[in-house]
Amino acid sequence: PRALSCNTCGGSFADKQAHRDHFKSEWHRHNLSLKLEHRPPVDERTFCEEVALAEA
């Protein structure tokens, strides 16, 4: 079977549902915004840290 991944975020997913859910996630949308600004994507851990800092 072919690996499920996101070319924008670099994430890999165990199954089709996780893959579909990823495309609806804030992390994916954030990386799409970065891509439009010609900036590199952030990994999920960095994204979560940025969100935590913004909410603090």
Query: What are the per-10-residue average pLDDT scores of the chain (56 residues)?
Result: 88 94 97 98 96 93
- Cβ atoms within 10 Å of 6's Cβ, excluding its own: 17
Phi, psi at 7, each rounded to 5° = -70, -25
Tell me which residue of 5, 4, 49 sits closest to 30, measured CA to CA. 49
Task: Give me the residue spans of the domains in the chain.
Answer: 4-55
Residues 32-44: b if buried by 16+ CB within 10 A, e if exposed = eeeeeeeeebbeb
User: What is the predicted pLDDT for the residue at 56?
Assistant: 87
User: What pLDDT does 46 receive?
Assistant: 97
pTM: 0.86
pLDDT at 1: 61
